[in-house]
Chain A
Amino acid sequence: MAKTIVLPKQPEYTIIGTSPEMKLTKNKVTGRAEYTVDMKRPGMLYARTLRSPYASANIRGIDYSKAMELPGVWAVVTHEDAKLLYKPSHGNAREYGLDDMVRYVGDKVAMVAAETEEIANQALELIEVDYEVLPFVVDMEEAMKPDAPVVHPERQELGVDGNILEVSEQEWGDAEEGFKEADFIIENRFYTPRVCHCAIEPHAMLAEWDLDGNLTMWSSEQTAFMIRDSLAEALKMPRSKIRFIVPEFVGGGFGGKYESAEKIALAILSKKAGRPVMWRLTREEEFYTTRTRSPCIFETKTGVKKDGTFVARQIRAIVDVGSYAWGAIMASRAASYMTMLYKCDNIKYTGYGVFTNTPPSGAMRGFTSTPVHYAMEAEIDEIATAIGMDPLEFRLKNKLNVGDIIPLNGVPVSSSGLEETMLKGAEAIGWHRRNSQPGSTDGRFKRGIGMASYCHYSPMLKATERSIGNALLKSNIDGSFHLLLGIADIGQGLRTIMAQICAEALGGKLDEIDVTLADTSVTPWGTTTAASRSTIETGGAVKEAADEMRMRLISLASEAMGLLEADLEAKDGRVYEIDNPSNGMAFGEILRHPDIYLRGDNVIVTKATYSVPQFVPPYGSQFAEVEVDTETGEVRVIKMVASSDVGRAIHPKSVEGQLEGGIHMGIGFALAEELKIDPETGRTLNPNFLDYKMYRSGDMPELEIIIVEPIDPYSVYGVKGVGEMTVIATAPAVRNAIFNATGAKVFRLPLTSENVYAALKEKNA
Chain B
Amino acid sequence: MVEVTFRINGRTRTVSVEPGSTLLDVIREDLRLIGAKEGCGKGECGACTVILDGDAVPSCLVPAASVDGKKIITIEGIEENGKLHPLQTAFVKYHASQCGFCTPGMVLTAKAYLDKNPNPSEEEIRGVMMSNLCRCTGYEKIIEAIMAVVKGDVA
A-to-B contact residues, CB < 8 Å: 1-2, 19, 21-22, 25-35, 37-38, 197-202, 249-252, 254, 282-283, 490-493, 653-654, 656-657, 660-665, 688-690, 694, 696-700, 703
Contacts and interface: CB of A to CB of B under 8 A. Distances in A.
Contact of A660 (B34, B97, B138): B138
B141 interface: yes
B153 interface: no
Central interface residue in B28, B45, B95, B138, by most chain A CB within 10 Å: B138
A251 B130 contact: no
27 contacts: A19-B95, A25-B92, A26-B92, A31-B35, A31-B74, A31-B76, A32-B34, A32-B76, A35-B37, A199-B135, A200-B37, A200-B45, A200-B136, A252-B135, A283-B40, A283-B42, A491-B100, A493-B98, A657-B98, A660-B140, A662-B138, A664-B135, A697-B129, A697-B134, A697-B139, A698-B127, A698-B129
Contacts of A201: 37, 39, 99, 101
Interface string B137-155: 1111111100100000000
A26 B84 contact: yes
Interface string B78-113: 010000100010011101011111111001000000
Closest 6 CB pairs of A and B: A31-B35, A491-B99, A28-B100, A251-B101, A660-B138, A31-B75
A35 B139 contact: no
Contacts of A282: 41
Nearest to B141: A657
Interface of B: 28, 33-42, 44-45, 47, 74-76, 79, 84, 88, 91-93, 95, 97-104, 107, 122-123, 125-127, 129-130, 132-144, 147
Given A29-B91, A200-B39, A654-B95, A663 B45 contact: no
A656 B45 CA distance: 24
B128 to A, nearest CB: 8
Nearest to A31: B35
Contacts of B140: 1-2, 656-657, 660, 700, 703
A31 B33 contact: yes
Contacts, number: 186
A661 B129 contact: no
A1 B100 contact: no
Contact of A696 (B38, B133, B144): B133
Contact of B130 (A198, A656, A663, A697): A697
Given A251-B101, A688-B44, A697-B143, A30 B95 contact: no
A657 B95 contact: yes
Nearest to A33: B100
A25 B136 contact: no
Scoring B34, B37, B93, B100 by chain A CB atoms within 10 A of each residue's CB, the highest score goes to B100
B126 A200 contact: no
Contact of A283 (B45, B100, B101, B122): B45
Given A19-B95, A31-B34, A698-B126, A663 B138 contact: yes
Given A22-B92, A200-B99, A200-B101, 16 more contacts: A26-B88, A30-B79, A31-B34, A200-B39, A200-B47, A202-B39, A251-B101, A283-B40, A653-B95, A656-B95, A657-B137, A664-B134, A664-B137, A697-B126, A697-B127, A697-B134
Contacts of B34: 31-32, 34-35, 38
A250 B98 CA distance: 10
Contacts of B133: 198, 200, 689, 694, 696
A660 B99 contact: no
Contacts of B101: 35, 199-201, 249, 251-252, 491
The binding surface of chain B is classed by DSSP as loop
Which interface residue of B97, B122, B132, B143 has the most chain A CB atoms within 10 A?
A: B97
Contacts of A198: 133, 135
B101, B104, B144, B147, most chain A CB atoms within 10 A: B101
A652 to B, nearest CB: 10
Contacts of A197: 135
A688 B92 contact: no
B94 to A, nearest CB: 8
B6 to A, nearest CB: 18
- Which residue, B28, B99, B103, B134, has most C-beta atoms of chain A within 10 A? B99
Contacts of A202: 38-39
A690 B28 CA distance: 25
Contacts of B141: 653, 656-657, 660
A30 B76 contact: yes
B100 A661 contact: no
B10 to A, nearest CB: 15
Nearest to A282: B41
Contacts of B137: 657, 660-661, 664
A252 B88 contact: no
B45 A21 contact: no
A700 B135 contact: no
Which residue among A28, A35, A254, A699 has the maximum number of chain B CB atoms within 10 Å of its CB? A28
A699 to B, nearest CB: 8
A735 B94 CA distance: 32
B130 A249 contact: no
A59 B39 CA distance: 32
A656 B36 CA distance: 27
A44 to B, nearest CB: 12
B91 to A, nearest CB: 5
Nearest to B89: A29
A653 B104 CA distance: 21
B139 A664 contact: yes
Contacts of B97: 22, 25, 28-29
A32 B35 contact: yes
A201 B104 CA distance: 13
A37 to B, nearest CB: 8
B76 A200 contact: no
Nearest to B131: A696
A249 B100 contact: yes
A198 B47 CA distance: 13
Given A1-B144, A491-B98, A703 B126 contact: no
Contact of A690 (B33, B38, B44, B95): B44
A663 B137 CA distance: 9
Given A200-B47, A689-B40, A698-B129, A492 B98 contact: yes
Contacts of A1: 122, 140, 143-144, 147
Given A21-B93, A664-B137, A698-B130, A490 B76 contact: no
Contacts of B93: 21
Given A38-B34, A660-B137, A29 B102 contact: no
Contacts of B100: 25, 27-29, 33, 249, 251, 491
Nearest to A668: B135
Nearest to B42: A688
A202 B47 CA distance: 11
Nearest to A286: B40
Given A200-B101, A251-B99, A491-B98, A31 B36 contact: yes
B41, B98, B122, B141: which has the most chain A beta carbons within 10 Å? Answer: B98
Contacts of A697: 125-127, 129-130, 132, 134, 139, 142-143
B124 to A, nearest CB: 10
B107 to A, nearest CB: 6
Contacts of B44: 283, 688-690
A29 B138 contact: no
Contacts of A251: 37, 99-101
Residue picked from B40, B91, B107, most chain A C-beta under 10 Å: B40
Contact of B129 (A2, A249, A696): A696
Nearest to A28: B100
A377 B133 CA distance: 30
Contacts of A703: 138, 140
A32 to B, nearest CB: 7
A30 B88 contact: yes
A28 B103 contact: yes
Given A2-B144, A697-B130, A698-B130, A688 B40 contact: yes
B135 A694 contact: yes
